Amino acid sequence: MGSTSAHTNEGLGRRDLVKRSAALGLVTVPAMGFLSACATGGGGGDDKKSAAPTGEVTEKNPLGVKEGAALEAFIFKGGLGDQYAKDAEADYKATYKADVKHTGTQEIGPKLTPRFAGGTPPDVIDNSGANHLDMNRLSSQGQLQDLAALLDAASLDDPAKKIRDVIHPSTLEKGKHGDTFDVLYYAFTIYGTWYSQKLLDDKGWAYPKSFDEMLKLCAEIKKDGIAPWTYPGKYPYYVHFNLFAQIAKIGGMPAWIEIDNLEPNAWTKSDAVRQVVEFYEELAAKKYFLEGSQGLTHIQSQTAWTKNRAAFIPNGSWLENEAAPTTPKDFGMAVGALFDGSGDKMPNGSLRGEPSEPYIVAAKGKNPRGGMELLRIMLSKKHAQNFATKVKSLTCVMDATTGMSLSPGLASASEKFKAAGNNLITIQLQEWYPALTDDKIGGLTGQLLTGDLKAADWIKKTQAEADKVAKDSAVTKFKRTA
């Protein structure tokens, strides 16, 4: 789902956060430490405390936005660009006869950390990219607006339906800190193994359903002079988009939730973990990865793939937009569901699909009601379809693209999403503990994929890293039950 610009493609949301562990060290640790000293406590968005402007609550203005109240928006301008947000802002401006200040940037954290600390944050923020703000910390400090009022507001398309009724249920789950819903993940990303339908058709190959079928096909692909797989070795956590979901598919969501919750031995006791990690170990041992993949960025690996130097790549559905500059017109971009292993708890066709692209409203902004209203506008079918058209991405608005003519990759993602039904996998570990998944485990995965680390050692060391985080009192912990 990614790129409206060819050179600054950071992709979508947190999964593309290039070197984000380093970014977290720069932004969230010292900056949020400073925030801790300056931020007042208190819950999200008490209008009496913030003296935010309030208008009359009407059927057309359920959030009570004050006419003429200016709005400030900070939008991450990476793989998705920011035109889709400007389009929604134009509707806000026309409806409320108000000025809208828009900033498109890839430096969300560096630019906004001092503003949060000083009590002057913008109203609405697309908190994405490598240099993002630490939402866990901001939420615990009462800096994020409780968005319950937005969820209970009427949809622009059907006043009889509330916003909570028109967005995907997983959006409601993912956006919570404790019992408070204070993050709206606007996009909906489909993760999987991506391939060229044209390449497979031309060669007479079929997308494999199981690990065994994939390994057999890899041998055939390699004989044909093409590398079966590539990946961005500089950011090996991209492989986790598939690897983690594959564990959940085989072992079942309850077993994965133990991993999300940092339970003791959650990695080492799981046969699903063993099956999946041994599959990647075998890919490496049989040299089924494009030579030099370990040195590639996300853009370089995608370019190698669109040039048919490799048949498969693990990624999310921002890929189509991000790789657009190098993708041949007849490429037939498509995504495949997760593979079957042995004794799987979830059926073939199971898919990792989950909300992405986090939007927050500052509780201490000048116009939090206006910030929520902008999100309500974005959650209309008009703007969900505009988003799909402009950036080839699904949003969290259910059925918004029905009847639309979709690009190949988005059509494939949408088709797989519908086919999966309730067999959808959501992963919180990368969201809650990115320093663990992207830096620590990512480093181990990098070694696994070059053949420098055995599967058994990857599992032991990953468990040890998870245990360190579990025991670290400085890391805020989160729990999920479903």
Note whether 42 and 54 are within 8 A (CB).
no
**What per-residue string of b and e applies to 9-22 under the rule 16 or more CB within 10 Å gives b?**
bbbbbbbbbbebbe
Name which of 224, 222, 10 is nearest 127 in CA terms.
10
Q: Is the dihedral of CA 436, 298, 113, 51 positive or negative?
A: negative
The tokens for 333 are 């971009």
- For the domain made up of 190-352+428-471, give the CATH fold: D-Maltodextrin-Binding Protein; domain 2 (3.40.190)
Residues in the chain: 482
Distance CA 82, CA 252 (A): 37
Beta carbons within 10 angstroms of residue 152's beta carbon: 12
Residue type, 234: K
Distance CA 302, CA 232 (A): 8
Burial of 422 (0-12, 13-18, 19+ CB in 10 A): exposed
Strand partners, 177: 180
Note whether 159 and 59 are within 8 A (CB).
yes
Domain boundaries, the chain: 13-188+356-414, 190-352+428-471
**Residue 383's Cα: distance from chain center in Å?**
19
Distance CA 147, CA 308 (A): 45
pLDDT at 1: 33
pLDDT at 241: 96
pLDDT digits (tens, 9 = 90+) for 159-214: 999 999 999 998 998 899 888 999 999 999 999 999 999 999 999 999 999 999 99
Q: Does domain 13-188+356-414 have CATH number 3.40.190.10?
A: yes
Give the residues of the chain that fall short of pLDDT 70. 1-51
Note whether 407 and 203 are within 8 A (CB).
no
pLDDT digits (tens, 9 = 90+) for 27-54: 333 233 322 223 323 334 444 344 678 9
| 477: DSSP letter | P
Name which of 80, 103, 74, 111 is nearest 8 in CA terms.
80
Name which of 196, 67, 40, 180 is nearest 121 in CA terms.
40
Distance CA 462, CA 442 (A): 10
Token pair 């799909």: residue = 388
* Domains 13-188+356-414 and 190-352+428-471 belong to one CATH topology: yes
Q: What is the DSSP string of 137-167?
A: HHHHTT-BPP-HHHHHSBPSS-TTSBHHHHB
Q: What is the DSSP string of 307-327?
A: TTSEEEEEEETTHHHHTGGG-
Beta carbons within 10 angstroms of residue 264's beta carbon: 12
Residue type, 137: R
Q: What is the DSSP string of 340-364?
A: B-SS-SS-TT-EEEEEEEEEEEBTT
Beta carbons within 10 angstroms of residue 201's beta carbon: 11
User: E strand or H helix at 434, and its extent?
Assistant: helix 434-434
Distance CA 44, CA 247 (A): 36
pLDDT at 481: 83
pLDDT at 17: 37
